[in-house]
C-alpha cells in the first residue's frame, strides 16, 4: 500500500465530483487523475466514507466491472442506466462511456494533432 500523503482524500473527492453524468471512471483512473497513481484502494475508502455524498456509481473496477458489495450491484447498475450508461453483459461499455479525464493545459508552443 502506498504511504498516506496529506491531501489525497480531497484530491480524490474533487476528481470524482468532476465525472459527468453518463460517464464513468475506474478506481485507478480516479487515483491517477488526482495525482496519486497507485491509490486505487484509497479511492474505495474515500467513497465508503462519503456515505453517498459523491456520485459513487460512476466509479468502477478496471474494464468497466462493477466492484461493489453484492447487495449494491443492482443499485449501481440502475443508477448508471438512468444516466444513459450502456452495458455489455456485466460490464459498462467503456468505449462509449469512459470519462476522458480532466483536460490538461497545453504548453505554449505545443501543437495538437
Chain centroid, CA 94 distance in Å: 12
Task: Give the pLDDT confidence of 83-102 residue by residue, as tens digits.
Answer: 999 999 999 999 999 999 98
CB 97 within 8 A of CB 23: yes
What does the domain layout of the chain look like in residue ranges? 8-97
Sign of CA dihedral 98, 45, 5, 54: positive
Under the banding of pLDDT at 50, 70 and 90, the label for residue 105 is low
Question: What's the CA gap between 3 and 16, in Å, rounded?
Answer: 21
By percentage, how much of the chain surpasses pLDDT 70?
Answer: 87
Question: What's the CA gap between 27 and 29, in Å, rounded?
Answer: 5
Q: How far is CA 44 from CA 32, 47, 103, in A?
A: 14, 5, 24
Q: Is the per-residue pLDDT at 1 higher than 60? A: no
pTM of the model: 0.86
Among 1.10.10.10, 3.40.50.1100, 2.40.50.100, 3.40.640.10, name the CATH number for the domain at 8-97: 1.10.10.10
How many residues does this entry show for the chain? 113
Nearest to 50 by CA among 7, 9, 95, 11: 9
The helix or strand, by DSSP H or E, that contains position 55, with its residue range, turns out to be: none
CB 10 within 8 A of CB 33: no
Q: Is the per-residue pLDDT at 16 higher than 50? A: yes
Amino acid at each position: 500500500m502506498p504511504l498516506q500523503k496529506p491531501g489525497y482524500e480531497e484530491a480524490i473527492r474533487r476528481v470524482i465530483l468532476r465525472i459527468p453524468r453518463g460517464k464513468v471512471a475506474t478506481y485507478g483512473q480516479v487515483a491517477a487523475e488526482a495525482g496519486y497513481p497507485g491509490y486505487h484502494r484509497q479511492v474505495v475508502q474515500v467513497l465508503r466514507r462519503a456515505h453517498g455524498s459523491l456520485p459513487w456509481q460512476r466509479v468502477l473496477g478496471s474494464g468497466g466491472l462493477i466492484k461493489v458489495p453484492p447487495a449494491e450491484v443492482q443499485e449501481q447498475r440502475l443508477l448508471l442506466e438512468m444516466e444513459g450508461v450502456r452495458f455489455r453483459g456485466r460490464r459498462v461499455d467503456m468505449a462509449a462511456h469512459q470519462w476522458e479525464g480532466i483536460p490538461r493545459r497545453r504548453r505554449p508552443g505545443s501543437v495538437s494533432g
